[in-house]
Structure 1
Amino acid sequence: MIDRLEMFIALANERHFGRAAEACGVTQPSLSSAIRQLEDQLGVQLVYRGSRYQGLTPEGQRVLDWARRIVGDVRALRDEMRSVHSGLSGNLRIGVIPTALPMIADLTAPFAQRHPNVQVSILSRTSAEILSGLESLELDAGITYLDNEPLGRVTQTPLYQEFYRFLCTATSPMFQRPSVTWAEVAQESLCLLTADMQNRRIVNRHLAEAGARVQATVESNSTIALIAHVRTGQWASIVPKRLAEIFADAGLHAIPIVQPEAEHLVGLINPRRDPQTPVLSALIDEANRFAARARQV
């Protein structure tokens, strides 16, 4: 039944029989047959059918919730038994918000050194995509904001506080300032992350609280694209301190933003499960060590 549940989860994730079959490494007729066998086994219709996939029935949605829990527990059991015989190994998929990517190696490098048989995949995702990926079992863990928007049923491990900097070149009249206010930076020509990014929603809120209208003539879902535009001297940006420190060289200047000096907590999240898989338990231990180092800085 586990194989059929995994195919059913893939179908719910892909919303297409062909793509789901490809994701599972089987033919489309084999996947369709497995779904029908699962329906016969459970005695309910799971999928609305027509010439193409038309969604899950109410019973199918309920079975999907159970399937994700069951498959998640079975994977955890397999991981634990594998670790008993061969030590910690397997795959670890981490979704990371773009603004946290500059720090991710500080977490994953020592983790990989301690556990060389674990393959780590780091995927840039929005905060909403991270939550969706954890729910659909496409991600094992995520790094996102902990204190800004609801997270649901996840285990949280705080990592560090995110502060904000006004990033500009010498062409900005504020280049030599020791600090700037949120109201002041709103007067500059800004390039910012797109609205689907939680960092942008945070920036929008702080600008609005300062009575400023958000003006961004360039938007991108890539922090690298923002930096590239700032380097031209035509734009400035509002970026996290850790990102600013990487690029604050001779050409760019990072200025603290005050009134207020806003901060938001970034941390590791993973599905709430007891017990956790050995790989996730090891990652949480590494996250706690990371947080301890961050507090000392």
Structure 2
Amino acid sequence: MSFENDLSTAQAEVQQALDTALAPFGDDPVAEAMRYATRGGKRLRAFLALEAAALFDVPRARALRAAAAIECVHAYSLIHDDLPCMDDDDLRRGQPTVHRRWDEATAVLAGDALQTLAFELLADPETHPDPAVRADLVLTLARDAGAQGMVRGQALDIAAETAAAPLTLDQVSELQRLKTGRLLEWPCRAGALLGGADPGPLVDYAGALGLAFQIADDLLDVEGDAEKAGKALRKDAAAGKATFVSLLGAEAARARAMSLVRDAEMSILIYTPKGANLGSVARYVVTRDR
């Protein structure tokens, strides 16, 4: 129960941090859309930042700023991912997507504003007194979220829809390492940077975690319940996209995910017992139903 309780507590803390960060922006449509997009969700990326930082006794207030920053980037990516020019989704977390609730222009601007807010949070001295640490946080998030990371993964995903042949397993793995994995790696790296520690073991953990997370997503797209998921399912199969499930089959994909969970757990053995919640996250991502 400790993991569930700690995750629930973190979700509430992160929501408060986001509400505080968004409070000065008034009540115009873009600001309201930003608030709307940052409510709810599992907060796994934020939780990773908090748990990684806790390994090195980083003050909670500083860790929460990094946690809020990664949630802003994640929310921006979902807003843009849902747009008609991308995945064209009507639902997110069981609610209308931002461009459906408002319009496409507001959605684009809200996503842009959330992205820049993330870097504002990290660059502020309240995040860390050492400007070199703040610069490293900004630099690494820019790389992980940008054209070398998540954005490149999204571009590869779009290109795959019209490719002459389905992607291979190695190509799907690389695509998802970029599109999904890099925003799971950054909060782990951020926790170490805030604590002045070597991020290597945590980055290894997050690399395995990211692929396990995506395999679980692929399984949910095939086997899940749309009402629980809060979004449309079976879209990958309908589009003829190569996924871990289509390439490996459901049972082999599930076995691969469990193997990756074991790899993730091995990477953080050096943090026992303080890393217990990180191990729980790895197991949670492959057993969740949404």
Structures share a fold, TM > 0.5? no
Structure with the larger strand share: 1
Mark the structure with the bigger radius of gyration. 1
TM-score w.r.t. structure 1 length? 0.24
Normalising by structure 2, we get a TM-score of 0.24
